[in-house]
Amino acid sequence: MTAVTRRQLAGLMGGASAAAMLAKGAWAQSPARAKDGGVVIGMSLEPPVLDPNLNAAAAVREVTAMNVYESLTRFNAKGEIVAGLARDWKISEEGLEYVFNLPEGVKYHDSEPCTAEDVKFTLDRLSAADSTAPGKSLYQRIAATEVISPTVVRVKLKSPDSFLLHSLAQGDAGIMGRKSAATNGTKPIGTGPFMFKERKEGDSITLVKNPAHRNAASVKLNTVVFKVVKDPAAQINALLAGDVDTFPGFQAPELVNRVRADGRFAVVIGSTEGETILATNNAKAPMNDLRVRQAIAHAIDREELIAGENGFAIPIGSHFAPHNPAYVDLTKTYPLDIAKAKKLLADAGHPNGFSASLKLPPVGYAQRSGEIIVAQLAKIGIKLSITQLQWPQWLSEVFREKNYDFTIVAHTEANDLDRYARDGYYWGYVSQPFRDTWAAVVKETDAGKRNELLKKAQKIVADDAVNGFLYQLGKVGVWNKNLLGLWENSPSPGIDLAAVSWK
């Protein structure tokens, strides 16, 4: 029976693929909705409440940032900071005061005017003492926000913060109206080029063009549907069936060849801010021994891990994005060397290795790399046992209670090297040299000098082998070949719909 099933199936499969070849055609066809300026964007994770001031989920930003809400500054496709809601700004000599100028006549989707008062309201919402904003620490250096006129607002800092314009460009800092903010979670109202229309929980969110936006003339799309498709297998089905036009973040690198073979889609591998690491509990024995961590670093074969990502990742040797101008290649700090790794482990008093836990969050890359890491460390006698956690379990058990030995996670925030200077962060890493270096980084306003300091900081972290530095996560963007303007890279979670159009 088995053999028959297989043979029959093989026959059917052969026939099916032949039919697919015939149907493929010579050019990429746009779906019918393209005519009316409609697009369906696939998302791997579902956004919870649509208020990025108050919710940390990246998916919330993907829908709302730049589209529904506008922040004072924003990123462009290259990852540079450009003007957002603010027309321009001036920074005082000592870097303690930022004055932002807003354009005249900006209105919210509910026709309320947007003024400097709203900017103050939003920044207070993010930084005030009683704020429940997840990004509060990003804005903790803000001392006060002052309204100078309806279109001019001044932000005063407690100490210089060379990352402020960057922090204000995050989806977190979308400017919200005083009247609508309270209900923005379910009925988001902003000043952006797209307005919220409806939501079907667990399924989709629909946005429509905002005709009153100051740049409305250049916005090509009329209707945008964000459709939640979590599973890799379902994502490919949705693409091939034409239900979804693009997955800006396709979750199944292993299926990319099939998407490419279809012919209708462009597959673009871009960069993300996601440094993927084998996070290590430095506060716990035996990982508190530098030699043990070095041994692990010598045992990690990045090439194999990246093959597991179908090649869509870039090796890293420290906690820093390769596309950043201050990047320095440290991947050779501890090259793959099993013999040396075993010796280091023996020197540390573990000639036969040890057993430890590997707690994985429920994300594709962690699942894929987890099994590979288990096999790699087994070669030097370290026996890891995998536990798959739900995201809340990971947050509470690993991240907050630090009840773990190893985990694999991508740190997707930009400029997140500062985590190594933090007290009580989940790696349990404490290094005075690093903290001193980082304090200098934050104060330094000269770009050239700052980059040198950043390089030094990267090297300290790499030499200390704080974590297993694996790879920079690739952004696998898949879109219909006739769909233009989607970003190749992902400097911050967000999809700039105003730039998207059909050919």
Query: Where on the chain is the footprint of another protein (CB under 8 A)?
Result: 2, 5-6, 9, 12-13, 15-16, 19, 46, 48-49, 54-57, 130-138, 185-186, 200-203, 229-234, 237-238, 241, 243, 252, 254-255, 258, 304, 307-308, 362, 367, 370-372, 374-375, 385-393, 395-397, 399-400, 413
SS3 114: coil
As a 3-state breakdown, the chain gives helix, strand, coil percent values, each rounded to 5, of: 35, 25, 40
Minimal distance in Å, beta carbon 185 to another protein? 4
Quick one: 92 or 137, whose CB is closer to another protein? 137
Cβ burial 119-131 (10 Å sphere, 16+ → b, else e): bbbbbbbbbeeeb
Quick one: 183 or 218, whose CB is closer to another protein? 183
DSSP string of 353-397? --EEEEEE-S-HHHHHHHHHHHHHHHTTT-EEEEEE--HHHIIII
Minimal distance in Å, beta carbon 237 to another protein? 5
Degrees to nearest 5, angle at CA 408 with 407 and 411: 115
SS3 153: strand
Minimal distance in Å, beta carbon 372 to another protein? 6
Quick one: 294 or 376, whose CB is closer to another protein? 376
Quick one: 133 or 498, whose CB is closer to another protein? 133
Minimal distance in Å, beta carbon 61 to another protein? 11
Minimal distance in Å, beta carbon 126 to another protein? 11
Degrees to nearest 5, angle at CA 155 with 151 and 160: 150
Minimal distance in Å, beta carbon 393 to another protein? 5
Residues in Cβ contact with 192 at an 8 Å cutoff, skipping those fewer than 6 apart: 64, 66, 67, 68, 69, 70, 210, 213
Give CA–CA dist 125/176, Å, rounded.
10
Quick one: 140 or 445, whose CB is closer to another protein? 140
Quick one: 201 or 488, whose CB is closer to another protein? 201
Quick one: 87 or 379, whose CB is closer to another protein? 379
**Tokens representing 411?**
């740190």
Quick one: 43 or 255, whose CB is closer to another protein? 255
Helices (H) and strands (E) in the chain, counts: 13, 19
Q: CA 263 → CA 27, 35, 38, 311, 409, distances in Å?
A: 7, 21, 21, 20, 33
Quick one: 49 or 216, whose CB is closer to another protein? 49
Quick one: 23 or 26, whose CB is closer to another protein? 23
Give CA–CA dist 46/326, Å, rounded.
34
Minimal distance in Å, beta carbon 233 to another protein? 5
Minimal distance in Å, beta carbon 55 to another protein? 5
Q: How far is CA 126 from the centre of its chain?
A: 20
Quick one: 388 or 431, whose CB is closer to another protein? 388
Minimal distance in Å, beta carbon 147 to another protein? 25
Residues in the chain: 503
Quick one: 87 or 158, whose CB is closer to another protein? 158
Minimal distance in Å, beta carbon 48 to another protein? 4
| Exposed/middle/buried for residue 426 (C-beta within 10 Å: 0-12, 13-18, 19+) | buried
Give CA–CA dist 342/382, Å, rounded.
10
Minimal distance in Å, beta carbon 256 to another protein? 12
CB 87 within 8 A of CB 152: no
Minimal distance in Å, beta carbon 64 to another protein? 14
Minimal distance in Å, beta carbon 164 to another protein? 16
Give CA–CA dist 36/501, Å, rounded.
11
214, amino acid identity: R
Q: How far is CA 447 from the centre of its chain?
A: 24
Give CA–CA dist 23/28, Å, rounded.
11
Q: What is the DSSP letter of 398?
A: I
Quick one: 27 or 391, whose CB is closer to another protein? 391
- Phi/psi of residue 98, each to 5°? -120, 125
